[in-house]
Amino acid sequence: MAYAIFPPPSLDVLILGLDSRPGEGEVSRADSIILMGTQPGRHRISLLSIPRDLFLATDAYGEQRINAIHMLGEMETPGRGVTLMQESIDTAFGIQIDRYLRLDFEGFVALVDAVGGVTIDVEHVVEDYAYPTEDGGTMTVRFEPGVQTMDGARALIYARTRHGDDDYRRAERQQQVISGLASRLILPWNWPAAVAAIGRATDTDINVVDMVRYAPAILLSFGRFDRQVIDRSLITTTINGNPTPDIDALTEWLTERLD
């Protein structure tokens, strides 16, 4: 009852999936970029996927492809990448990001496995004849339609595969995975393993107090996530000819869902 009357404030989280594995020794680009808006007072969770090939302005490096902004920040100072991403997105979208979650492939797999996998409703056949393997080769992957529970390795493939369609459908799949993961993270019996995995395999400023405060918001949303992908209809061109988010077209959605 107290939660319903005095809910915590809205919380906007930047989720970054990095295109690297520990030990590769290279500065990583952001392979997946998602903004998650949590609005406890409205029982609403919103996800906005930002295509990695869009351009945003940066104070230090001018206009840059968004997935390279993280790399440029990390080359400057380790840990600076996520800060530079936050600053650039805050400025472009007129929002204030409160927290971040940054994880590489291994961290993603560990976190999904820690909560017992994720349940995904695959809407249609997803097939990729050229999915990249760790040894530099490729393999064929296929997902049949229907509700299925995926472990971390399988969920990573589902989120990353793109040769069978395009980056927009790929973004939709990533949102499905994030929604499924969030639904597992809110279950109290998963918290010990999740906290251990987060501390061991991810980089984040989300803490246990945040998890306890905002888990009811996800629970009360009844698994309904308001999803938006910045697709071609929401992209404009800068004076330099580079694709960039059409903020005017996104204003209403942003104002309602990302405080």
Domain of 217?
2-257
> Which tokens is 161 given?
């595969």
- The whole-angstrom distance between residue 125's C-alpha and the CA centroid of its chain comes to 23
Query: What CATH number should be reported for the domain holding residue 69?
Result: 3.40.630.190
> pTM value?
0.87
Report the pLDDT averaged over residues 101-115. Answer: 91
What pLDDT is stored for residue 125 in this prediction?
93
Q: CA–CA separation, 137 vs 134, rounded Å?
A: 7
Q: CA–CA separation, 193 vs 209, rounded Å?
A: 16
State how many domains the chain has. Answer: 1
Cβ-based neighbour number of residue 202 at 10 Å: 17
pLDDT surpasses 70 at 5:
no
Q: What beta strand segments (E) does 184-246 contain?
A: 203-204, 225-229, 235-237, 243-245
168 or 81, which is more confident: 81
The predicted-structure confidence for 138-175, as pLDDT tens digits, reads as follows 999 999 999 999 999 999 999 999 877 778 888 899 99
Q: CA–CA separation, 134 vs 131, rounded Å?
A: 10
Average pLDDT, the chain: 86
